[in-house]
Structure 1
Amino acid sequence: MKAGKFIWASLIFAVLLGSFAIAPEGASACSCAFPGSVNEAKLNNDVVFDGTVTGKKEPVRLFSRSSATPITWTFEVHEIWKGKVSPAISVVSVQASESCGYEFKEGSRYIVYARNSGNSLEVSLCSRTALHSAAGQDLAELGVGSVPPQPQAGQPSGSSTLLGWVLPIVGLGVLIAVFFILRQRTKRRPTSM
């Protein structure tokens, strides 16, 4: 009987030791179906454009980050095939490919397929989004797109919009200063009795 217990204990020990020795395969939480044809991707997305990444904005996190942290990417748009797109546009994608996020690189040019979530345009690893240099089939099938609308002369730009806020505030400050100066002068005048 003692030999039987020893064999079972040895067998359990060997199985446990073996389970530690076998390294698990790397797992990816993101699983995508094939994105389909260019036309299907164009139909299934709200915006399709060609642009160069000009900026990246990560949310401020005090403690930890996860692969699902949303990152905002800003693009200079060169050509549009679908959607209302301005010359500069932002899209959101989660931090890492493990969570199906598309990891853009600043300064690189992409063909971007994005969906409107109501709050932002979102891009995922599962879309047909690709580097411009690797998107030959997409460019051929999409054909010639349109150029994003440029601000016309006389339309407010970002700086003139800022001026539209600054001037009234300065004007209000001047009016308040004049009011207090006049009030001080009336207090200083001697009253005649």
Structure 2
Amino acid sequence: MRKRQGFILLYTIVWICMVMTVWLPKEAYACSCAMPASVQEELQRSEAVFSGKVIGITEKKGLLRSSADPLKVQVSVSNVWKGAIAPEATVYTALSSASCGYGFQPNTEYLIYAGRDADGQLQTNLCSRTKPLAKAEEDLTALGTGQGPTGQKAALSGQSPWVPWAGALGALVIVYVLGRTVTVMVYGYYLTRKHLPDLIRAHKTLQHEELPSEIHFGVKDKKRKPVPELIGLAAAAVAAVIVYYVLR
């Protein structure tokens, strides 16, 4: 009986040790990083470099966890220096700093240097230059002005605010001239076909030196609305609006 109780006790101790080994973070293996790279070196070897505020952090659920488990971090992106980054990005890091996981905090802005894993997911770690945006003065100075995330209307660095207006004005003039020229030709062809019989009769009448009232058939058309001008102006306005929002 005592042997059986001793076996059960030994089995229980072994089982508890196994569970603690798998469940608890493996703090025994500390993260070791080399000397930090320069801003330009880190920019070159990173797949994406961007800044934004952490709006959500999700840990792996379950009893069996490891310090190397992925931590999902959702970021509202404000500025991008490298990579096609959406307005809301997801980046992964290890659960614990023991596995080089970066300790993100909710509602805090960060400058993030990230690579991509085999599945294309963004990854960052404690050994990168990822840091709170408030402590990234050196990085921001070296990186310069970035641009807005993909899908947002953001002016590129150094672009003059007059560029959209200049482009819109140029499109307005060009499209109006071309549109009016085409519509004049089409409208003239339409009027010619419409009044061709009258022109033939007028020509025959003039040959007989008579001046009937039919000669003045064109007076009514002169009083019509300027169709070519209206069409050309409408097309030019549409083109100007499109060009403005593209360059904005």
**Could you say which TM-score interval applies, normalised by the shorter chain?**
0.5 to 0.7
1:67 is displaced (CA, Å) by 1.0
**Other-structure match for 1:113:** 113
**Other-structure match for 1:142:** 143
Structure 1 counterpart of 2:70, which letter? P
1:27 is displaced (CA, Å) by 5.8
**Other-structure match for 2:72:** 72
- For residues 152-191 of structure 1, the aligned pairs below 5 Å read none
Q: Is 1:131 matched up with 2:132?
A: yes
2:53 and 2:107 in contact (8 A); partners too: yes
1:142 is displaced (CA, Å) by 0.3
**Other-structure match for 2:40:** 39
1:118 is displaced (CA, Å) by 2.8
1:151 is displaced (CA, Å) by 5.8
Q: Is 1:99 matched up with 2:106?
A: no
2:94 and 2:100 in contact (8 A); partners too: yes
Whole-angstrom CA distance in 2 between matches of 1:36 and 1:93: 19
**Other-structure match for 1:21:** none
Q: What is the SS of the residue equivalent to 1:81? A: strand
Whole-angstrom CA distance in 1 between matches of 2:45 and 2:135: 21
2:84 and 2:150 in contact (8 A); partners too: no
**Other-structure match for 2:84:** 84
1:149 is displaced (CA, Å) by 2.8
Structure 2 counterpart of 1:130, which letter? K
Whole-angstrom CA distance in 2 between matches of 1:140 and 1:104: 23
* Higher CA-based Rg: 2
Structure 1 runs of 4+ off > 3 angstroms?
Answer: none
Number of residues of Structure 1 aligned to a counterpart in Structure 2: 126
Q: Sort the Cα spacing of 1:36 and 1:151 in 2 relative to 1 into closer, same or farther, 3 A.
A: closer
Whole-angstrom CA distance in 1 between matches of 2:53 and 2:116: 20
Whole-angstrom CA distance in 1 between matches of 2:150 and 2:47: 18
- For residues 11-30 of structure 1, the aligned pairs below 5 Å read 29-30=30-31
Whole-angstrom CA distance in 2 between matches of 1:148 and 1:97: 29
Q: What is the SS of the residue equivalent to 1:110? A: strand
TM-score by length of 2: 0.49
Structure 2: 5+ residue stretches without partners: 1-26, 154-248
Structure 1 counterpart of 2:68, which letter? A
TM-score by length of 1: 0.62
Structure 1: 5+ residue stretches without partners: 1-25, 153-193
Q: What is the SS of the residue equivalent to 2:98? A: helix
What fraction of aligned residue pairs are identical, expressed as a percent?
39
RMSD: 1.6
